[in-house]
Structure 1
Amino acid sequence: MFRELNRKFQDYMRPKRLALGKRIWDKKKTNKRKLENNIIEKENIQSILFLRYDGKIGDMVINTLLFREIKKKYPHVKIGVVSRGGATDIIRYNKNIDKLYIYSKKRKDIKKLGARISKEKYDLLIDFSEILKINQMMFVNLCEAKFNMGINKKDWNLFNISIDKIDYNYHITKLYDDILKKLGIETVNLSYDIFLTEEERKAVNNIQEDYIVFNPYAASKHRSFNVEKSLEISKVLLEKRKEKLVLIGTIDHRAELEKIKETLGKRVLVPKLNGILEVASVIKNSKLVVTPDTSIVHIAVTYDKDILGIYRKNKEDKNSILWGPNSKKAKIIFVEEDIKPGQEIDINKVNIDEIVKGVK
């Protein structure tokens, strides 16, 4: 009861807090004029700062197409990226990025980073948040870029240019294509980039035979498979494919994956992987990737892999469209369930026969 009351109170207060934050931080000292098209050439843009402080790995994978396409046409433009968490590792060795800044949620650290960035005098800041939290409003303001671009920010003073609200009936790359067009880049390649060093490539040295990858986990528990369903799917993959089966997950999942390995025998491997780039290295050398997680999906798309993606489906959830695998090599299985308002579809209700059909 207390949790439900607290949730309702937080839902009630959230828009009020955001409105207050906007009154405080939605200000721009100079260059309040709105911008239109061909921004890089018309405004003599020499540097661009991308804000990806959400730490989402899959989002950052897709963002890499922006860095490459800008550098391709305008190699002189300095590209800086603000990132945190596992998303930082995705771009750690990206040759199209000139400066990487690590974001912390602590208010004092946000102020320090904002002051540091403001001294570098970026010409253009691009923020990808549909809804800005108060600390993010403050950070955008403190960076003091010459121009700011945002998503659905037409009524903001802080932003000089607003990209139309995300259309959930199209893949997210359409939004990035729109951004590039505003910058003056018309012909683009929408593929992604992940750069690996020799150290990450060593992660697959002990896997001598062909293999497929199964990742049972996602950021949400409602999109993650339990041990029983993971075991059931693993059995199907071993029956339908001749390769070895590599199970991947975080350190917290290792004990569960080891139990599956003990049950199914020598054809199952659970490698010890340190970080997302070693995971990417394993995916790069695989024959098939099976996953409910969008970050793993995007990594697999980067390396042009066969993919079997498993998504939940209801009227409100268009995750599979917006963030699905943007690849002709991908198959998607939908999990549908009659649920009451406020409830979550359980991905463990997936029809195992659909997985049998989906695996070549």
Structure 2
Amino acid sequence: MIRKLNRVIQDFLRPIRLELGRKIWDKKSEKHLELIKNNRVDMSRVKSILFLRYDGKIGDMVINTLMFREIQKRYPDIRIGVVSRGAATDIIKFNPHIDIIYNYKKGKESELASEIAKENYDVLIDFSEMLRVNQMKFINLCKAKINIGLDKKDWDLFDLSYEKNYEKHITDMYKNVLNTLGIENPNLDYEIHTGMIVKDEIKRRLRELGNPESIVILNPYAASKHRSFNIEKILEISCKVLKDSKSMLIFIGESSKKSEIEGIIEVLGDRDRVKYPTLSGILEVVELIKHADYVITPDTSIVHIGVAEKLPMTAVYRLDTGDNNSVVWGPNSPLVKQIFSKDIAAIGEEADINKFDIREIGV
């Protein structure tokens, strides 16, 4: 009851805070119209671009990698900086198209913005659908010459705005941004660089597993329990993989799920073919996925990692309820079979992803 009341209060206060924050931070002390030509950035004058990816979302960062490559390919002398947070930073840790990564910490926006302002960035690109007050403040204090944002036509803080088409894949939006930077017909493939230490570590782990000839990776878990496979479904999927293929079945999942996964392996009773290696960080997960022949996952960042590695997959989604999530954030790859839970959520509840037929899963 207290939690529900607090949510109601926060929902009431949010628009008030946002309106107040905008009155304070939605402004720009200096406009650099010389950098804008025909509603695009005049790239002949640009020496540096800053990307804001402070949401910490791994999948979003994976998709964003296409932009870093395409910009450097077209403009090799432009300096690229990225503001990132959490595990998403590891996705770009070894990216050769990025010159500097800034670590974003909530509550420390002023200090980081002051550091960035000294770099005098020509262009700042933000991807937020809704700016929180601390983000407005951060963008204002970064003092880039040109700020570009999503649906920000009526903002003083932003000089250029781009749109998101909710009927198309998210890469269409990134293509629009690249178009604003004078890049036509970009390559929309994602890429992840893991580094030699991680590559060698995963090779060592695979040797310990007997260098299996074929691997199926099962990722049962998502950030929400409503988007994660339950134990019954995990067992059904596992039995299908073991029956329909000769592959080794490898589970991936956070260490907090270790006891649950080990219990599942015990029930399956085939420790020679079913494994759960302890992995350290998202890059080891990426490198292990590179060695897989097939991946099975709910709607998570693993979908986008698998697409980056051009792997065949089965990706399980809940039915769209007006947000078109399965299109906008779907796999966008002919190698991926997208299947859907048939559960329809009651009002105020979330749909269960486990209401699908495992016979739809390919191996």
TM bucket (normalised to shorter chain) is over 0.9
1:326 counterpart letter in structure 2: N
CA distance in 2, matches of 1:268, 1:181: 47
1:40 Cα shift?
4.2
CA distance in 2, matches of 1:153, 1:357: 42
CA distance in 2, matches of 1:234, 1:37: 53
**Structure 2 matches for 1:5-84, cutoff 5 A?**
5-31=5-31, 33=33, 35=36, 36-41=38-43, 44-84=45-85
Per the normalisation by structure 2, the TM-score is 0.94
Q: Is the 8 A contact 1:312 1:335 kept in 2?
A: yes
CA distance in 2, matches of 1:319, 1:113: 33
CA distance in 1, matches of 2:175, 2:116: 26
**Structure 2 matches for 1:107-118, cutoff 5 A?**
109-118=108-117
1:326 Cα shift?
1.6
Which residue of the partner structure matches residue 187 of structure 1?
A: 185
CA distance in 1, matches of 2:32, 2:135: 19
**Structure 2 matches for 1:287-298, cutoff 5 A?**
287-298=293-304
1:319 Cα shift?
1.5
Moved more, 30-39 or 320-329: 30-39
1:262 Cα shift?
1.9
* Matching of residue 226 in structure 1 with residue 227 in structure 2: no
Which residue of the partner structure matches residue 305 of structure 1?
A: 311
2:189 counterpart letter in structure 1: S
1:125 counterpart letter in structure 2: L
CA distance in 1, matches of 2:111, 2:173: 31
Which residue of the partner structure matches residue 217 of structure 1?
A: 221
CA distance in 1, matches of 2:360, 2:341: 14
- Counterpart selection for 1:337 from 343, 354, 358: 343
1:114 counterpart letter in structure 2: A
Secondary structure, counterpart of 2:334 in structure 1: coil
Kindly, what percent of the aligned residue pairs are identical? 50
Secondary structure, counterpart of 1:199 in structure 2: helix
RMSD over equivalenced CA pairs, Å: 1.4
CA deviation profile, 1:275-334 (whole Å, cap 9, x unmatched) = 000000011110001001331001000110001000000332422111111211000110
* Matching of residue 126 in structure 1 with residue 125 in structure 2: yes
CA deviation profile, 1:158-206 (whole Å, cap 9, x unmatched) = 0000002x22211000000000011000021000110121221122433
Secondary structure, counterpart of 2:205 in structure 1: coil
Secondary structure, counterpart of 2:347 in structure 1: coil
- Counterpart selection for 2:291 from 278, 285, 294: 285
CA distance in 2, matches of 1:38, 1:130: 21
CA distance in 2, matches of 1:10, 1:359: 44
1:15 counterpart letter in structure 2: P
2:345 counterpart letter in structure 1: I
1:152 Cα shift?
0.4
Secondary structure, counterpart of 1:178 in structure 2: helix
CA distance in 2, matches of 1:307, 1:228: 21
Which residue of the partner structure matches residue 157 of structure 1?
A: 156
